[in-house]
């Protein structure tokens, strides 16, 4: 019985048919030998191919030990940084777009100011240039870092509060903003103040001085170059050993700054950070702006016109700033009357207080715009508080000039007369006060502002606060000028900013020395 060839090959391969029995089936043995030759040639070909061809490797992702934190989150898949939508060109070119309006609200700057900061940061060396290839993680765009910092200043949040929105890790922003004292490189706040402070927060030049004095003359305060006051910022991370030095009248540790601003709320100068227990009289002694008023001929030799009570003109030399009663009595720092002796001094005190409110409003705007200044600081180094405060002050001045609010009062249509004159007419007569639901006319016996001795000392003990030469004479001349202007309706008051300077979101920001139209 002949065996099928397939069965023969199977049994011959398994050894069930030996060589002697194979001779009994020559046809099957011949096919088996041919089949074995084909197998041997195939195995040899595969071995040659394996030795000459490149060895196939298992496909795996490259090792990336730096891929952690926000870098890993950004590469995870569909997670896209949300704030890139604010920087789209179609959003920037459309002022009516909702994202365009939200940009100013969220980050407290305009697109022009934002571009100026980003361009300067890219050339500073603090951030990696994406065009220069370097090993490791791809650099985070400078735009996202700037937006993260601006949003932190706006709401007073911690470093890791906006990781998902900006794509920047909190530790990355912290390392960028604040550097230890031993570091050879600057942090963002150090760089920002060094790069922009001298350009945007500085004393007025000759043209700006003329514009400011013209504004001051309209409101009945000739020769006033600005207002000065101190502001306290809470310091929650104050060392325990220094809490006694920094806890002043507020009852908790603070850092104090002495600042000068114009009547348009443009900051001219800011002192260094003082402990909260240091009073205004101590800070003003080392103030650079007051030193300039005393020594710089642009301010100390400047002459302006004043009137006496009869309307006769005269010249007065030397500019000054308006302050409260806590400062030294110098001709460069004029305050009102703490204890007025007559109605003229009372009216001048009220007017001087209404003028001096500009510096208080400037501090209020600064704290409302940058909530970080309202919350207790958690930084360890006091110098960082000073850098953050000056950073906010620089951005405030940028916005004021960008919006055109620094030039209010330069045009005739910026002033109102009727309301001010009606208010002054209402206060010309004898004053009255309410007590027990009944209005009483104020007399010498009911003038409660007259306290102490016969009013010779308006500020306490003269030995503790000596009067500088020229202080009383200058103050008396300005009082006579105010009373003449008040009686002849020569005092004006500026209109509200929204009425005279509507915001132009598409205009390029002018420089510090250019007055916006």
Q: For residue range 102-128, what is the model confidence (pLDDT) as tens digits? A: 999 999 999 999 999 999 999 888 887
**pLDDT recorded at residue 363:** 96
Q: What is the average pLDDT across 3-10?
A: 66
Residues 6+ apart with CB under 8 A from 269: 201, 202, 203, 259, 260, 287, 288, 289
In terms of pLDDT, which residue wins out, 151 or 72?
151
Report the range out of 167-176, 220-229, 412-421 with the highest average pLDDT. Answer: 220-229
- Indicate whether 9 pLDDT > 80: no
- Asked if residues 223 and 318 have their Cβ atoms less than 8 Å apart, the reply is yes
- The pLDDT score that the predictor gives to residue 505 is 45
User: Do 349 and 340 contact (CB within 8 A), yes or no?
Assistant: yes
Q: Provide the mean pLDDT of the chain.
A: 81
Does position 516 have pLDDT exceeding 50, yes or no?
no
**According to the model, what pLDDT value does residue 192 have?**
96
Pairing of strands 267-270, 274-275: unpaired
Residue 178 burial by CB count (10 A; 0-12/13-18/19+): exposed, middle or buried?
Answer: buried
Decide which of 453 and 24 is more confident: 24
- Rounded CA gap, 171 and 174, in Å? 5
Q: In the predicted model, is pLDDT for residue 468 greater than 80?
A: yes
Q: Considering only 129-133, 215-219, 407-411, which range has the smallest mean pLDDT?
A: 129-133
CB atoms within 10 A of CB 402: 22
- For residue 517, pLDDT over 50 is answered with no
Residue scoring higher pLDDT (287 or 443): 287
Give the highest mean pLDDT range of 77-91, 102-116, 419-433: 102-116
Q: Using pLDDT thresholds of 50, 70 and 90, give the confidence band for residue 450.
A: very low
pTM value is 0.77
3-state secondary structure of 11: helix
**1 has a pLDDT exceeding 70:** no
User: What pLDDT, on the 0 to 100 scale, is given for residue 311?
Assistant: 92
Share of the chain above pLDDT 90, in %: 51
Residue 310 token pair: 């009869």
Residue 329 above 70 pLDDT? yes
Rounded average pLDDT over 163-188: 85
Helix (H, G, I), strand (E, B) or coil at 29: helix
- Residue 330 is predicted with a pLDDT of 95
- Buried b / exposed e along 101-124 (16+ C-beta atoms within 10 A): eebbebbbbbbebbbbbbeebbeb
Please determine, for residue 72, whether its predicted confidence score (pLDDT) is greater than 90: no
CA 78 to each of CA 72, 73, 75, 82, 134: distance values in angstroms, whole numbers, following the listed order? 12, 10, 8, 12, 25
Q: Mean pLDDT, to the nearest integer, of 361-377?
A: 95
Give the whole-number percent of the chain exceeding pLDDT 70: 73
pLDDT over 60 (residue 137): yes
User: pLDDT tens across 244-303, in order?
Assistant: 999 988 899 999 999 999 999 999 999 999 999 999 999 999 999 999 999 999 999 999
CA–CA distance, 302 with 467 (Å, rounded to integer): 22
pLDDT interval class at 163 (50, 70, 90): confident
């Amino acid at each position: 019985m002949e065996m099928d060839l397939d069965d023969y090959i199977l049994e011959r391969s398994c050894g069930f048919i030996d060589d002697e029995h194979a001779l009994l089936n020559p046809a099957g043995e011949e096919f088996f030998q041919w089949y074995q030759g084909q197998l041997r040639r195939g195995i040899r070909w595969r071995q040659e191919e394996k030795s000459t061809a490149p060895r196939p490797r298992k496909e795996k992702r490259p090792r990336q030990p730096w891929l952690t934190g926000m870098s890993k989150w950004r590469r995870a898949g569909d997670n896209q940084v949300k704030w890139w939508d604010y920087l789209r060109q179609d959003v920037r070119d459309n002022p009516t777009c909702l994202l365009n309006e939200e940009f100013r609200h969220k980050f407290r700057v305009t697109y022009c100011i934002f571009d100026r900061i980003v361009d300067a940061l890219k050339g500073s060396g603090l951030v990696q240039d994406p065009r220069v290839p370097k090993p490791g993680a791809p650099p985070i765009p400078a735009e996202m870092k700037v937006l993260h910092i601006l949003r932190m200043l706006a709401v007073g949040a911690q470093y890791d509060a906006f990781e998902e929105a900006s794509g920047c890790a909190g530790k990355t922003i912290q390392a960028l903003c604040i550097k230890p004292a031993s570091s050879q490189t600057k942090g963002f706040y150090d760089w920002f103040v060094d790069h922009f402070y001298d350009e945007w927060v500085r004393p007025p030049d000759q043209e700006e001085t003329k514009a400011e004095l013209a504004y001051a003359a309209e409101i009945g305060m000739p020769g006033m170059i600005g207002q000065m006051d101190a502001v306290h910022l809470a310091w929650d991370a104050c060392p325990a050993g220094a809490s006694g030095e920094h806890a002043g009248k507020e009852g908790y540790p603070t850092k104090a700054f002495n600042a000068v601003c114009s009547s348009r709320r443009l900051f001219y100068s800011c002192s260094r950070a003082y402990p909260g227990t240091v009073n205004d009289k101590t800070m003003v002694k080392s103030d650079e702006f007051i030193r300039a008023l005393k020594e710089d001929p642009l301010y100390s030799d400047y002459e302006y016109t004043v009137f006496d009570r009869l309307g006769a003109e005269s010249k007065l030399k030397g500019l000054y700033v308006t302050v409260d009663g806590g400062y030294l009595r110098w001709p460069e720092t004029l305050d009102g009357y703490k204890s007025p002796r007559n109605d003229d001094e009372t009216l001048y005190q009220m007017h001087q207080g209404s003028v001096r409110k500009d510096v208080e409003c400037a501090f209020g705007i600064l704290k409302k715009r940058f909530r970080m200044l309202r919350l207790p600081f958690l930084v360890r180094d006091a110098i960082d508080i000073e850098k953050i405060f000056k950073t906010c002050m620089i951005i405030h001045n940028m916005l004021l000039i960008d919006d055109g609010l620094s030039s209010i009062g330069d045009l005739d249509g910026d002033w109102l007369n009727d309301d001010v004159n009606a208010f002054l007419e209402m206060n010309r007569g004898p004053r009255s006060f309410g007590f027990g639901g009944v209005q009483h006319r104020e007399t010498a016996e009911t003038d409660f502002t007259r306290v102490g001795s016969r009013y010779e000392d308006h500020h306490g003990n003269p030995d503790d606060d000596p009067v500088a030469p020229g202080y009383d004479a200058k103050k008396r001349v300005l009082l006579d000028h105010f009373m003449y202007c008040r009686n002849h309706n020569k005092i004006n008051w500026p209109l509200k900013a929204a009425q005279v300077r509507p915001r132009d979101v598409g205009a390029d920001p002018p420089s510090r020395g250019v007055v916006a139209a």
